[in-house]
């Protein structure tokens, strides 16, 4: 006996690139709000609305997702720092002061939980890929600030850069 009911249409599939971005956007929100270890893979999969197989296609291990998250955070945060420095004017000394505008804006955001890289470093054992990524970010930002300090004529640009970062 055949059923006369027609099957419900299948839910539209998320294009591949969009699935990765949905996963990453969900991880971005959850990792920052809950912490790297507290935000579980099953929650990220459920909240991003992708299949488990799709998740693991893009991120075979949780650390792969964490590294992608840190890459995204690095792009956003470094962009905000550079924009604040440039908005302060062309003089390197003014740009160093301008960095604090980015910090002030970040600290005033709802849900602010501190620096995502410091938080990640605190949750990651030394020597892991995740911890090494946090160290690379710190080195990059410190080197940039050191260069600004040297251009501004700071007597000890290395010391100033370490103090500011």
Residue spans per domain, the chain: 16-164
Place of tokens 């959850």: 30
Length of the chain: 165
- Write down the architecture of domain 16-164 according to CATH: Orthogonal Bundle (1.10)
pLDDT band at 7 (very low <50, low <70, confident <90, very high): very low
Tokens at residue 56, please? 């693991």
Cβ distance 44 to 23 under 8 Å?
Answer: yes
Q: What is the pLDDT of residues 9-58, one digit of tens each?
A: 444 555 657 999 999 999 999 999 999 999 999 999 999 999 999 999 99
Residues 6 or more apart from 28 whose CB is under 8 A from it? 69, 72, 73
Q: What percent of the chain has pLDDT over 70?
A: 90
Question: Can you give the pTM of this predicted structure?
Answer: 0.85
Place of tokens 């299949």: 51
């Amino acid at each position: 006996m055949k059923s006369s009911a027609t099957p419900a249409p299948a839910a539209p599939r998320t294009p591949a690139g969009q699935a990765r971005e949905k996963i990453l956007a969900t991880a971005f929100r959850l990792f920052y709000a809950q912490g790297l270890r507290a935000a579980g893979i099953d929650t990220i999969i459920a909240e991003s609305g992708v299949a488990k197989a799709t998740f693991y296609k893009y991120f075979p291990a949780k650390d792969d997702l964490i590294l992608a998250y840190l890459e995204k955070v690095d792009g956003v945060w470094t962009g905000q720092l550079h924009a604040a420095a440039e908005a302060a004017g062309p003089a390197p000394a003014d740009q160093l002061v301008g960095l604090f505008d980015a910090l002030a804006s970040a600290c005033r955001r709802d849900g602010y939980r501190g620096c995502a890289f410091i938080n990640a470093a605190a949750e990651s054992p030394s020597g892991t890929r995740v911890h090494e990524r946090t160290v690379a970010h710190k080195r990059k930002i410190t080197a940039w600030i050191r260069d600004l300090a040297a251009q501004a004529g700071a007597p000890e640009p290395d010391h100033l850069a370490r103090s500011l970062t």
